[in-house]
């Protein structure tokens, strides 16, 4: 049988088995309506303003790209590929690239205002290209092997292929319905897997020919493919399958089941160990936004409670934006520390990826509930307007439809007032702080994560990305863009402590102490016990984020690998001339590239920024030895990414200023460090700060790191060990991160278990007293207010979250005695009320007998934060149960071998300010030494 006939026969069998058949165009139905909505989302529709400069520029770019592809088409009748540069016939990445280029041409053909709109020659080339790729590459004779090439075959090629079918649907369904049928058959073939019996099973919850489980972004993509294929084929079951199974991505990860997806704190993990909000997480956001938009108002709308596909957890997608994206986008720039291996892709500039998120939120806002709509629009407006480095509207990834809708939002939305905050992302070992003129990102790893992902030839120099790298953002919005990654010295990333020129493997960490605590959502402390894979290097690293300063401490730096240990204070990209002014202790250093100097007794440094508002100061408490290097560095993107899908040519060059501390071989000469980052300060301001610093380092040892910010009354501590340790007037019995703020009237303390391994409580004691508890997390129990404050923090299952309590230091507390005879006390059961001069106010209330416990209860409601019970203790004293606000507070014993009057038998402190009810009731038992069951009640006492 000839090859062509064999292919046709195979296609007929598979098409028949899969039940796919496209009939010629008929009257419009709901599927056509959704498909038209999809097409408008791709092209902008017919109502776009082609005179708008940004839209006109985008249409020109679309036209030029299509023209480039069209002009380079192979035009021989025996071609195996449409473009010669797309190489080997069955290379799956090249199959994806083919469909991407065909989509580019179809987009120009379908976009109003393009000179190629409706172009007959282009139409012919598009249809012929689809036929060539199907016949030569992407058909049912392709033998799938396990998970080999699965992404391209099932997602990478399918999404642009489906977009093309949506754009060209009328042309195909009218003139070539049989082609459309076989294309859709191929799509389903590649989306299916062999169940082991030779039967093809289509299940978006599985991938590869082995039916491997899809999770998070991969599940989202697979479901988007399934639903979109259902739109084209007008298959309600396929749409239902895609929409229903994507619901799995809406669930939050809780640490006990699946480990890919979003956590409630905004952390996103993919591939089990890697922070990927800006990569896979963004893809998941994109898919959710697309599905919400396309199926809004239909029977497949998951937000409509009357539909069978309804899932109340859809609201989590909107929470992702506020918790998982707002903290990681600084004026349009997506922080690289949550982009995974994508940072090594030349086409994935941080602003490009940030703009991609903005585009997704623009799409998401079209179906956003009222509770989110206005906030999202203000956020979109802020991100777009604040990005002065790269225009959102002119970004290659921003579509005409997105430009149109984004401009409408920007023109009408309320302006966002930028907030200052500190967020700890305990589930992916990152921390972020935003201030009015800067932002800070801290990248760490633990035994719960891995430091970097390097697969498929990508991110080949990611060795130290999570060794405490600090990303300091300011007005220089291009700092981490503009070919930063192929030119930065990957051995010396800012904030890291490293073995010189080392390349540790990206294995899962061995240390659990990684995390921190946030206070009032504004201040925070982060820490990590660093232990790179394959090295003996150990270091305790802490960062204390106050208002306009960040204190970095390191202790316990040790190694036996025979390597020089360095702590990199800074590695800053400079201006194009590399001549940013550097001042060290008042002395201007050389601005010539190649300057290299070892300096001693350095107390402060100032580096002039490349743009106004981007100066940075550095303060070194007590002085330090410091090395400086000003250099020009060159590199290739291909040095850090050899994947065929992301190749580009050309040497890239940038200038850098590096500052580092040399700890000596195996840190023999210096096993600790301390420095303070002072963003936005001028040289004179840094000098003044160094002469009168606002911070005091309380301790920097292997037991604890602690800093006090005197102006704000803030104290931050990282307790490194499970021992009773006191520093700064705070004692902890366990490993903990603590931040406290004290004013003249109150104090607030926040605590976390950064190890995420403590299954009990952290016991804290503060060396001062308080009058009352103002607010407290339910996990915090205050056991004492005076003479010291004692509290227990239940951190079991807390996933590294911070728990806080606020105390009043008030000096005007009043103590009130409520005698047993007070009419406000409610008595029930058997009581005897008599006079007795030994009792307060000469009255007593007694319940119980010599042989049987009394049935008496006494209840009283008071307003206060402390309550006490006084009674007579005697040889015949019984036991009494106590409840406060309906919650059991234990049992007290009134037995004593001798009579004791006005004895304090119960005290409860730490109640929140307000009304409380105490209830006393006899217990059925008594002390084994007691001779009876009496309870001689005297009075209550409460403190307000």
What is the 3-state secondary structure of 526-542?
EEEEECCECCCCEEEEE
Q: pLDDT tens digit string along 286-321?
A: 999 999 999 999 999 999 999 999 999 999 999 999
Between CA 327 and CA 421 the distance in angstroms is 9
Predicted confidence band of residue 855 (pLDDT cuts 50, 70, 90):
confident
Q: Taking all residues of the chain, what is their mean pLDDT, rounded to a whole number? A: 93
Which DSSP string do the residues of 376-434 spell out, in sequence order?
A: HHHHHHHHHHH--SS-STT-TT--HHHHHHHHHHHHHSPPP-PPPEEEEETTTTEEEEE
Three-class DSSP category at 525: strand
Instruction: Please give the angle made by the CA atoms of 30, 32 and 36, to the nearest 5 degrees.
Output: 120
Weakest-pLDDT range from 22-26, 390-394, 465-469, 577-581? 22-26
Position 202 pLDDT exceeds 90: no
Between CA 463 and CA 496 the distance in angstroms is 11
Which DSSP string do the residues of 697-755 spell out, in sequence order?
A: EEEESSSEEEEEETTTTEEEEEE-SSS-EEETTEEESSSEEEEEEE-SSEEEEEEE-TT
Name residue, tokens 């490349």: 610
Tokens of 879: 């036991």
Q: Is 280 a catalytic residue?
A: yes
Q: pLDDT tens digit string along 128-176?
A: 999 999 999 999 988 888 778 899 999 999 999 999 999 999 999 999 9
Q: pLDDT tens digit string along 365-414?
A: 999 999 999 999 999 999 999 999 999 999 999 999 999 999 999 999 99
Beta bridge partners of 709: 695, 714
Q: What is the pTM assigned to this prediction?
A: 0.84
Which DSSP string do the residues of 252-271 spell out, in sequence order?
A: PB-SSS--SEEBTTS-EEET
64: left (phi over 0), alpha (psi -120 to 50) or beta: alpha
- Choice among 271, 316, 663, 916 that is catalytic: 271
Between CA 284 and CA 288 the distance in angstroms is 6
Predicted confidence band of residue 346 (pLDDT cuts 50, 70, 90):
very high
Range 806-811 average pLDDT? 87
Residue 282: predicted pLDDT: 97
Position 8 pLDDT exceeds 70: no
Q: pLDDT tens digit string along 477-487?
A: 999 999 999 99
- Choice among 101, 103, 316, 341 that is catalytic: 341
Between CA 872 and CA 894 the distance in angstroms is 7
Give the residue with greater pLDDT, 88 vs 875: 875
Q: How far is CA 766 from CA 54, 412, 729, 843, in A?
A: 60, 51, 6, 40
Name residue, tokens 């040399």: 662
Q: pLDDT tens digit string along 516-542?
A: 999 999 999 999 999 999 999 999 999
Cβ pair 869, 940 in contact under 8 A: yes
Between CA 765 and CA 722 the distance in angstroms is 15
Between CA 646 and CA 494 the distance in angstroms is 26
Selection from 872, 869, 875 nearest residue 918 by Cα: 869
Between CA 57 and CA 55 the distance in angstroms is 5
Cβ pair 788, 756 in contact under 8 A: no
Q: pLDDT tens digit string along 895-929?
A: 998 899 999 999 998 898 899 999 999 988 888 88
Tokens of 128: 């012929």
Between CA 750 and CA 757 the distance in angstroms is 18
Q: How far is CA 263 from CA 266, 274, 320, 928, in A?
A: 6, 13, 9, 52
Q: pLDDT tens digit string along 660-694?
A: 999 999 999 999 999 999 999 999 999 999 999 99
The length of the chain in residues reads 944
Three-class DSSP category at 344: helix
Residues sharing a CB contact under 8 Å with residue 817, sequence separation 6 or more, in sequence order: 840, 939, 940, 941
DSSP state of 620: E
End-to-end CA distance of the chain: 96
- Choice among 134, 169, 183, 280 that is catalytic: 280
Q: What are phi and psi of 43, to 5 degrees?
A: -105, -20
DSSP state of 449: S
Three-class DSSP category at 803: strand
Q: How far is CA 467 from CA 69, 270, 356, in A?
A: 43, 20, 28
Position 9 pLDDT exceeds 70: no
My answer on whether omega of the bond before 289 falls inside 30° of 0, hence cis, is no
% helix, strand, coil for the chain, step of 5: 30, 30, 40
Q: Is 271 a catalytic residue?
A: yes
Residue 771: predicted pLDDT: 94
Between CA 196 and CA 251 the distance in angstroms is 31
Predicted confidence band of residue 813 (pLDDT cuts 50, 70, 90):
low
Selection from 172, 169, 295, 144 nearest residue 226 by Cα: 295
Q: What percent of the chain has pLDDT over 70?
A: 96
Tokens of 356: 């991609």
DSSP state of 155: I
Predicted confidence band of residue 853 (pLDDT cuts 50, 70, 90):
confident
Residues sharing a CB contact under 8 Å with residue 137, sequence separation 6 or more, in sequence order: 80, 81, 89, 90, 95, 98
Q: What are phi and psi of 120, to 5 degrees?
A: -65, -40
Residue 26: predicted pLDDT: 53
What is the 3-state secondary structure of 156-218?
HCHHHHHHHHHHCHHHHHHHCHHHHHHHHHHHHHHHEEECCCCCEEECCCEECCCCEECCHHH
Three-class DSSP category at 826: strand
Q: pLDDT tens digit string along 206-243?
A: 888 878 889 999 999 999 999 999 999 999 999 999 99
């Amino acid at each position: 049988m000839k090859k062509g006939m064999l292919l046709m026969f195979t296609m007929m069998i598979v098409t028949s088995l899969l039940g796919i058949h496209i009939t010629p165009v008929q009257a419009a139905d709901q599927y056509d309506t959704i498909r038209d909505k999809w097409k408008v989302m791709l092209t902008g529709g017919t109502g776009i303003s082609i005179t708008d400069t940004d839209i006109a520029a985008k249409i020109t770019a679309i036209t030029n790209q299509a023209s480039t592809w069209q002009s380079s088409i192979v035009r021989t009748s025996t071609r195996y590929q449409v473009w010669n540069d797309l190489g080997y016939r069955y290379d799956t990445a090249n199959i994806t690239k083919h469909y991407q280029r065909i989509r580019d041409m179809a987009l120009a053909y379908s976009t109003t205002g393009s000179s190629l709109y409706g172009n007959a020659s282009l139409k012919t080339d598009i249809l012929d290209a689809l036929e060539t790729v199907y016949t030569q590459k992407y058909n049912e004779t392709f033998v799938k092997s396990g998970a080999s090439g699965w992404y391209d075959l099932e997602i990478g090629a399918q999404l642009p292929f489906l977009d093309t079918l949506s754009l060209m649907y009328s042309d195909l369904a009218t003139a070539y319905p049989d082609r459309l049928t076989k294309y859709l058959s191929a799509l389903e073939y590649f989306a299916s897997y062999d169940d082991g019996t030779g039967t093809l099973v289509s299940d978006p919850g599985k991938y590869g020919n082995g039916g491997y489980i899809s999770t998070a972004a991969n599940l989202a993509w697979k479901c988007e493919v399934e639903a979109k294929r259902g739109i084209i084929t007008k298959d309600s079951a396929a749409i239902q399958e895609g929409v229903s199974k994507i619901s799995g991505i809406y669930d939050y990860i809780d640490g006990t089941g699946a480990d890919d997806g979003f956590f409630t704190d905004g952390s996103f993990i993919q591939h089990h160990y890697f922070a990927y909000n800006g990569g896979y997480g963004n893809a998941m956001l994109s898919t959710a936004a697309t599905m919400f938009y396309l199926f809004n108002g239909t029977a497949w709308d998951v937000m409509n409670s009357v539909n069978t596909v309804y899932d109340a957890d859809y609201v989590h997608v909107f929470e992702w934006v506020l918790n998982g994206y707002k903290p990681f986008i600084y004026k349009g720039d997506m922080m690289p520390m949550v982009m995974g291996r994508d940072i090594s892709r030349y086409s994935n500039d941080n602003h490009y990826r940030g703009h991609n998120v903005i585009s997704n939120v623009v799409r998401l806002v079209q179906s956003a509930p009222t509770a989110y709509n206005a906030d999202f629009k203000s956020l979109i407006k802020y991100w777009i307007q604040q990005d002065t480095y790269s225009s959102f509207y002119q970004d290659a990834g921003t579509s005409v439809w997105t430009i149109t809708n984004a401009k409408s939002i920007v023109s009408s939305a309320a302006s966002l007032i930028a907030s200052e905050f500190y967020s700890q992302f305990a589930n992916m070992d990152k921390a972020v702080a935003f201030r009015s003129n800067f932002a800070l990102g801290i990248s760490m790893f633990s035994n719960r994560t891995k430091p970097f992902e390097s697969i498929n030839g990508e991110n080949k120099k990611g060795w130290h990305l999570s060794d405490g790298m600090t990303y300091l953002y300011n007005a220089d919005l291009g700092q981490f863009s503009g070919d930063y990654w192929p030119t930065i010295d990957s051995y010396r990333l800012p904030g890291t402590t490293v073995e010189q020129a080392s390349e540790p493997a990206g294995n899962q960490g061995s240390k659990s102490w990684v995390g921190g605590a946030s206070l009032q959502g504004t201040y925070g402390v982060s820490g990590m016990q660093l232990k790179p894979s394959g090295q003996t290097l150990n270091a305790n690293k802490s960062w204390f984020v106050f208002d306009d300063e960040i204190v970095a401490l390191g202790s316990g730096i040790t190694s036996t690998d025979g390597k020089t240990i360095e702590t990199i204070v800074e590695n800053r990209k400079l201006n194009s001339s590399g001549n940013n002014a550097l001042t060290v202790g008042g002395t201007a250093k050389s601005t010539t590239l190649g300057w290299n100097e070892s300096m001693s007794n350095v107390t402060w440094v100032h580096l002039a920024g490349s743009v106004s508002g981007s100066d940075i100061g550095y303060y070194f408490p007590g002085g330090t030895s410091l090395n400086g290097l000003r250099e020009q560095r060159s590199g290739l993107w291909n040095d850090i990414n050899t994947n065929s899908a992301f190749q580009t040519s050309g040497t890239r060059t940038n200038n850098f200023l590096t500052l580092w501390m040399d700890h000596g071989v195996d840190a023999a000469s210096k096993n600790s460090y301390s420095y303070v980052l002072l963003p936005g300060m001028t040289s004179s301001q840094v000098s003044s700060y160094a002469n009168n610093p606002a911070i005091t380092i309380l301790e920097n040892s292997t037991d604890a790191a602690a800093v006090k910010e005197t102006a704000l009354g803030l104290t931050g501590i990282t307790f490194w060990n499970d021992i009773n340790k006191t520093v700064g007037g705070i004692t902890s019995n366990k490993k903990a991160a603590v931040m406290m703020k004290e004013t003249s009237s109150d104090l607030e303390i926040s605590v976390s278990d950064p190890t995420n391994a403590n299954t009990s409580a952290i016991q804290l004691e503060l060396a001062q007293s308080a009058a009352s508890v103002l607010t407290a997390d339910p996990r915090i129990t205050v056991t004492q207010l005076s003479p010291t404050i004692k509290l227990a923090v239940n951190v079991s299952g807390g996933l590294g979250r911070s728990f806080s309590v606020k105390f009043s230091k008030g000096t005007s507390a009043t103590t009130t005695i409520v005698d047993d005879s007070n009419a406000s006390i409610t008595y029930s059961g058997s009581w005897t009320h008599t006079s007795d001069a030994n009792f307060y106010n000469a009255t007593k209330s007694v319940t119980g007998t010599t042989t049987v416990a009394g049935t008496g209860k006494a209840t009283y409601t008071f307003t206060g934060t402390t309550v006490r019970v006084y009674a007579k203790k005697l040889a015949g004293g019984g036991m009494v149960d106590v409840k406060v606000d309906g919650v059991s507070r234990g049992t007290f014993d009134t037995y004593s071998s001798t009579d004791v009057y006005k004895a304090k038998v119960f005290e409860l402190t730490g109640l929140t300010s307000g009304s409380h009810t105490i209830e006393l009731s006899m217990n059925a038992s008594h002390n084994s030494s007691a001779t009876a069951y009496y309870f001689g009640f005297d009075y209550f006492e409460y403190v307000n």
